[in-house]
Structure 1
Amino acid sequence: MRLTPGTVVEFPQLSLRDSGGKISTVNLREGTAYVNFSGAKNDEFALTFGHEKLALTHAAHLRAEMRDTDATLAVFKGDVQVDGPSGAFEIGKKQSATFDLADQDRYTLAANLEQDPYDSWDKQQEQYHQRYTSNGLYNGYSPYAYGMSDLNYYGSYFYAPGYGMCWQPYFTGLGWDPFMNGAWMWYPGFGYTWVSAYPWGWMPYRYGSWRFLPSYGWAWQPGGSWAGWNTIPRVVNPPRSFAPPQPPTAPGRTIIVNRGPIMSVSRSRLIIRNDSAGLGIPRGSIRNLGRISQQVKTEGSATATVHTAPVRSLAPMSPTSPRVRGPSGGFSPRMSTPAAAPHSAPAAHSGTSHGSPH
């Protein structure tokens, strides 16, 4: 599922069957959500918006949008049955329906699709996901696909003698550590969670552990239970001079950490420096990151051309960022959102701001 800025969703149910099938129920409260349901065996996905509900058990790709007075459901692929106050009806491929929220969700069915500015972004992200999910050397560690495409694009796997299979982001040296860029965010129901600023920084901070390997530097090692995720990343064998990350003691704060190098931008060209770890590089925008990473290691920096641009320029962690609420009442990890346009990072510093995270 992909969310546009300003979107708010709730997850009343997220569960796993004994057979391995996943059951997901999503309530779209406002904004726009793209759903590309694979229709895997035993998986069920339900989406509610306004007074309407749809349940997916087979492959479908759709866009749902909630506004103040109306809602729209557009189907790109598959067919979807919708249940609501006006009864049950089906929306087929390349059809859309508009619901009047002030009139018992009375709907109007259209035999065509009106393009949304974010449709191209959704298409780009789907192509990126399909290309890089199965493009890595090692894909057998996780029963889930989420996050694998980012690991394959922004880094590489290698076998470390005595440790096993590990992953390391590109553009890192012995002076880099996994906690140079990110923030401690307060999530009601969960407490403090480390939120990485790196574009690949979801799975390696929720599962497995970060391990310092002599001659290699920091690397992520898959492992552990996939039943729950870590709010505080596990750290193994750190150097003596390394201070493990510690969350704040007082609740309700946001602590921003920005110790990484500054990225320079000139039109559609980026100057990538060592220890930047991919920060500021939009997904799929630069080809051959592995080759460029080797150049950065030997020369200290490299200039690369950005081949694709995001839909709009968005600031990370902005007040308009999507918000998701989990079954327990706390905020759960974010879904995929439009990447920020390349920009120069602020000067390296650590700062604090008060208030609840968005």
Structure 2
Amino acid sequence: MRISLSFAALAALLSLPLLSSAAFADPPEQAGRLSYVQGNVAWHAEGEGEWSAAGLNYPVAIGQSLWTDADARAEIQLGFAELRMDQTTELEVTRLDDSAAAVQLDQGTLNVHVGAVPPGGMQVVTPYGQVFLLRPGHYHLEASSEQPSGQVSTLEGEAQLQTESQPLIIHAGESAVIGGDPLAVMLAQGNLTPFDEWASARERQEEAGEARRYVSPAIPGYQDLDAYGRWHAEPDYGPVWYPTYIAAGWAPYRYGHWAFIPPWGWTWIDEAPWGFAPFHYGRWIELHGRWGWSPGEPVAHPVYAPALVAFLGSSVTLSFGERPVGWVPLAPHEAFHPYYHASDAYMHRVNTNVTVNQTTITNIVNAPVTQYANYQAATVVPANAFAHGAPVHKAQVSVPPAQLVAVHPAQATALPVPAARPRAASVPPEHTPHHELSAGRAMPVTATAAHEAATFARPAPHPQTPVAAVAHPAPPAPPVSISSSQPAAHEPASPPPVRITRGAATSPPLSERAKHAAVPPYPHAEPPVAAAPPPPVAPAHPLPPQAQAVRPAPAPVPAPSPHAEQQQSHKPALAERPAHRPDPTRQEGEHP
């Protein structure tokens, strides 16, 4: 659709006053990324009862739940970890910030790669107890939707399982199988499953190269940049990333759609496989006739933004009766002014790695849109197309740059009310229980884990080789919940102990159990909205002998429900952040 706007209409765009945000809480500063989608994947925000279809590059925030249908898989990138969900898995994010992370596995199979343990720890809540991931490594968790049963395998690293009474440390190469009535735990040998092998292949595929030198490892999605573009040192901007292939007429925030995602509201969802980090962090600039992304100075705690644009608003009527919505991509040195409720302190934090000051912010807000470096890349669409999440490049309205002279950007704007989101093709069973995070205990943080979290250094990924043996300190006294500093309401004086036995070396490995799980094959020819499918993986094989548990045990215990044996999981690695930020190694005068 190509419809010209009158000068008067454009001049009236965005004249609404700034709304006070003092009474509103700031939105989360961290978000994960849905980085792989195969099959039907659904999500819903906190407090919502209806599931909606999820797609590639959707942000994942606290309070959100995700569900993978039969034959589906999903991958979530966090700043310090990656989560991979196998089919029929339900997961909720209960905490995600700079201090700690916690997710709730209601049912299914989850594979977790932890690159660095955050200072407050990383926790997975299950129907049978809480699992604390104590060290960087790779972990496999399963949970049944029918009863408190499942398993926890430490493929690499160290985990602690907290059930109704005593904690249990699960070392590298060990698997805790939980089930029975009363609940019992058997510690046996751990092995890689086919799902873990798939996760390992994804992890190798996502290893970052040059990008890790210029982008904070806490930014999800930076691993994709090297495969889809190249870096060049620009005198005025430092390292700039240029995408290799873009469509004619391409501009930032033009090839994708808008989605209303609480608590931020309108969020840009880019259609490019690399389209997450460059649209929620950093700035865009057109140099040498090409668009490039400047990540800005690397910082330890980058703040996520739903879209780094200046909105032009929706307060006028087009010639055919609709009001437009327009926006301009921000350039380096231009401050982002949140179009959602946020405090001044939040605005400062979200602009931390951009060289601006309060005077610059004020001048930009009060200046006409032509003061923006990228004003000629402004994009305008009808409000109805915006609200329904239509592909922007197909709904774009033609606006000559000369007509933008008198338009001022809005500090806050009455953006369109969102239309109903596409409903999910499949949702979790209604009987799936919901387990409260606050019922557990706080994450025990070792000195090693605290140091690793402070540096956010990520080890090289070797998921099939457990880390060298480490000293295993005795578990600490049970502290308070990770989600609350308040003690539990009451605990029985002597809770019934969970029976723990240690299986012999001949215990059935997980890979053998996986053969009988009847997991259907996964289509690779045409994944719906996913990144490129991973390369073929080798058959499952046990971990090296030195990693296997060899502790003898008395008697076997009841096996978990067969429902818990129909799942499996795994995830990728992040890069090590340098002490200083080098420039790309390009010869002087070379242009991308």
Global fold match (TM > 0.5): yes
Q: Does 2:238 align with 1:164? A: yes
Structure richer in strand, relative to its length: 1
Instruction: State the structure with bigger RCO (CA 8 A, min sep 6), 1 or 2.
Output: 2
- CA shift for structure 1 position 190: 2.0
- 2:156 aligned to which of 71, 77, 84: 77
- CA shift for structure 1 position 198: 1.7
With over 3 angstroms needed to count, the CA separation of the structure-2 counterparts of 1:195 and 1:336, relative to structure 1, is farther
SS at match of 1:171: coil
With over 3 angstroms needed to count, the CA separation of the structure-2 counterparts of 1:61 and 1:336, relative to structure 1, is closer
Structure 2 counterpart of 1:109: 187
Structure 2 counterpart of 1:3: 84
Q: Does 2:295 align with 1:219? A: no
- Whether the aligned pair in 2 keeps the contact of 1:2 and 1:34 (CA below 8 Å) is yes
Structure 1 counterpart of 2:141: 64
- 2:108 aligned to which of 28, 31, 45: 31
Give the whole-Å Cα distance in 2 for the aligned partners of 1:61 and 1:79. 9
- Whether the aligned pair in 2 keeps the contact of 1:118 and 1:311 (CA below 8 Å) is no
SS at match of 1:178: coil
Structure 1 counterpart of 2:125: 48
- CA shift for structure 1 position 28: 1.9
With over 3 angstroms needed to count, the CA separation of the structure-2 counterparts of 1:162 and 1:39, relative to structure 1, is closer
- Whether the aligned pair in 1 keeps the contact of 2:115 and 2:136 (CA below 8 Å) is yes
- CA shift for structure 1 position 206: 0.9
Structure ID, larger Rg:
2
- CA shift for structure 1 position 251: 10
For 1:127-165, what per-residue CA distance to the aligned partner results, in whole angstroms no more than 9, with x for missing partners? 2344xx2x2167234252632321122211112343432
- Whether the aligned pair in 2 keeps the contact of 1:60 and 1:80 (CA below 8 Å) is no
With over 3 angstroms needed to count, the CA separation of the structure-2 counterparts of 1:171 and 1:26, relative to structure 1, is same
- CA shift for structure 1 position 126: 2.1
Give the whole-Å Cα distance in 2 for the aligned partners of 1:94 and 1:210. 46
Matches within 5 A, 1:279-290: none
Structure 1 counterpart of 2:23: none
Give the whole-Å Cα distance in 1 for the aligned partners of 2:103 and 2:121. 11
Structure 2 counterpart of 1:285: none
With over 3 angstroms needed to count, the CA separation of the structure-2 counterparts of 1:31 and 1:171, relative to structure 1, is same
For 1:67-93, what per-residue CA distance to the aligned partner results, in whole angstroms no more than 9, with x for missing partners? 323323222112322001263223232
Give the whole-Å Cα distance in 2 for the aligned partners of 1:105 and 1:148. 43
For 1:95-121, what per-residue CA distance to the aligned partner results, in whole angstroms no more than 9, with x for missing partners? 223333x84654343323362x32222
- Whether the aligned pair in 2 keeps the contact of 1:156 and 1:168 (CA below 8 Å) is yes
- CA shift for structure 1 position 10: 2.5
SS at match of 1:118: helix
- 1:96 aligned to which of 163, 170, 175: 175
- 1:198 aligned to which of 264, 272, 281: 272
Quote the RMSD (CA, aligned, Å). 3.5
Matches within 5 A, 1:1-358: 1-4=82-85, 6-16=88-98, 22-39=99-116, 42=119, 44-69=121-146, 70-85=149-164, 87-100=166-179, 103=181, 105-113=183-191, 115=193, 117-130=194-207, 133=208, 135-136=209-210, 139-142=213-216, 144=218, 146-172=220-246, 175-213=249-287, 215-223=288-296, 226-234=301-309, 235=329, 236=331, 237-238=373-374, 240=376, 242-244=377-379, 253-257=388-392, 312-313=523-524, 314-316=527-529
- Whether the aligned pair in 2 keeps the contact of 1:191 and 1:251 (CA below 8 Å) is no
Give the whole-Å Cα distance in 2 for the aligned partners of 1:67 and 1:30. 5
- Whether the aligned pair in 2 keeps the contact of 1:147 and 1:200 (CA below 8 Å) is yes
Structure 1 counterpart of 2:342: none
SS at match of 1:142: coil
- Whether the aligned pair in 1 keeps the contact of 2:109 and 2:143 (CA below 8 Å) is yes
SS at match of 2:304: coil
Calculate the TM-score normalised by the size of structure 1: 0.61
- Whether the aligned pair in 1 keeps the contact of 2:257 and 2:389 (CA below 8 Å) is yes
Give the whole-Å Cα distance in 1 for the aligned partners of 2:383 and 2:128. 41
Paired letter, 1:223: G
For 1:157-201, what per-residue CA distance to the aligned partner results, in whole angstroms no more than 9, with x for missing partners? 112343432111111366322345423222132212111222211
Give aligned pairs, total: 258
- Whether the aligned pair in 2 keeps the contact of 1:174 and 1:216 (CA below 8 Å) is no
With over 3 angstroms needed to count, the CA separation of the structure-2 counterparts of 1:184 and 1:141, relative to structure 1, is same
- Whether the aligned pair in 1 keeps the contact of 2:134 and 2:159 (CA below 8 Å) is no
SS at match of 2:379: coil
For 1:231-262, what per-residue CA distance to the aligned partner results, in whole angstroms no more than 9, with x for missing partners? 1233133363x333679579985434576xxx
List gaps (5 residues or longer) in structure 2.
1-81, 310-328, 332-372, 395-520, 531-569, 573-592
Give the whole-Å Cα distance in 2 for the aligned partners of 1:257 and 1:336. 32
Among the aligned pairs, what percent are the same residue?
A: 24
